[in-house]
Amino acid sequence: MKKTLIEITLILLVLALIFVNIKNDGNMEKVEENKEKVLTKKELEENKVNDIINSLSLEEKLGQMIIVGFNGYEVDSDFSDLLENYKVGGVILFKRNIKNSEQLLNLNNNIKSINSKNKLPLFISVDEEGGRITRLPEGSTKFPSNKVIGKENDKGLSYKIGKQIGTELNDFKFNMDFAPVLDIYSNPKNTVIQDRSFGTDSEIVKTLGIATMKGLQDSNVISVVKHFPGHGDTKVDSHIGLPVVNHDKQRLDKFELIPFKEAIDKGADAVMTAHIVLPNVDESKKPATLSKTILTDILRNELNFNGVIITDDMEMGAIAKNYGTKDASVEAVKAGADIILMCHTKEKQIEALEALNEAVNSGKISIERIDESVKRIIKLKHKYNLEDI
């Protein structure tokens, strides 16, 4: 009888172990299934982006790689042509385009309506920094300059201002803001940056700039931090001429790059380049906008930035007078830029697109290089759920 009880106990123990193993195997299978589902979701998004890229002609891909400006309060035939026939990927508005609140809302809705026939929605962008760099119509909030915010040195305040700027931009159908400025104001003779900077201290600029960036992002507006790798220690205004900064890479690492590096680590979606020459960083003496050393080696590879790189306006004097907008557009893409910003002249905008087309067809730029940029652009548009409705 004792032997029988022992045998029964052993059998029950074996059965219990088998049951536990079966249950664990089932749980493992469920874990593996869930892993597959997560991977599949990522793969589906990647496949969706690839499908869009494969559906685009070369002209449509290149169109995505330019943001253009135009004149007037309404969509004219020139701008309609850029939307309908050149499939441009974005537009930037200035004071010259904005009369009042009603007109601005109608303009952006009209732009979206015209573009709705195209395969991808538009970046509708603006420079809304606060202070003297403001584009919004009368009746909108007048935000203080970054210099004033920097004196307060309040991270929470910076976030709230960024959030409110984003909210008001959203009301007018903007989805991209070329802000905040992450340049450190280290040269008193620098008139182009001046009060647009949060201050002379890298930590203050870093902390307040990133808070503003987060506020914009949380209001579903794409924040484009600028001007990489730092425009704070210049004397020449790059709107007029070509600034030269003689700092070496060690100096940049210890000062100018601090806000940008932190912004990238904290999720910056887009970075705008600076039209400044740093001969002790890139011996080719090309401005940052055209420098593979600065855009690819430093920004992409060293700082691990995987977002969208946008040039400053290629019609500014620093580029137009020294390199020509057409050739510079090709050089910027070769250097690593994803989007060319061309704010004024239709003829120059078309010339840039045609030059890029010719560069691809001649082998100066590979189609794979173009697809890299277009993929980043599409992913950013998907991330912010941009729509032309």
What are the C-alpha distances in Å from 368 to residues 53, 352, 364?
11, 19, 12
What's the helix, strand, coil split of the chain in %, to 5? 55, 10, 35
Looking at the DSSP bridge assignments, the partners of residue 287 are: 277
Instruction: For residues 27 and 32, give the distance between their C-alpha atoms in angstroms, rounded to a whole number.
Output: 9
H or E stretch covering 176 = strand 176-177
Q: Which residues are catalytic?
A: 239, 312
Query: Reading across the β-sheet that carries 176-177, which strands appear in turn?
Result: 308-310, 270-273, 222-228, 176-177, 123-126, 90-93, 66-68, 340-342
DSSP secondary structure letter of residue 290: G
Check: CB of residue 280 under 8 Å from CB of residue 247.
yes
How does DSSP assign 121-142, residue by residue?
Answer: PPEEEE---BTTB--PPTTS--
CB of 232 within 8 A of CB of 185? yes
Neighbours of 92 (CB within 10 A): 23
Distances (CA, A) of 360 to 62, 297, 334, 375, 379: 10, 22, 11, 17, 22
Q: The tokens of 24 are what?
A: 């664990």
Residue 370: CA atoms inside 13 Å, Cβ hemisphere, count? 27
How far is it, in rounded angstroms, from Cα 305 to Cα 108?
A: 30
State the Cα torsion 105-107-110-111 to the nearest 10°: -110
* Residues linked to residue 224 through DSSP beta bridges, in sequence order: 270
Give CA–CA dist 295/293, Å, rounded.
6
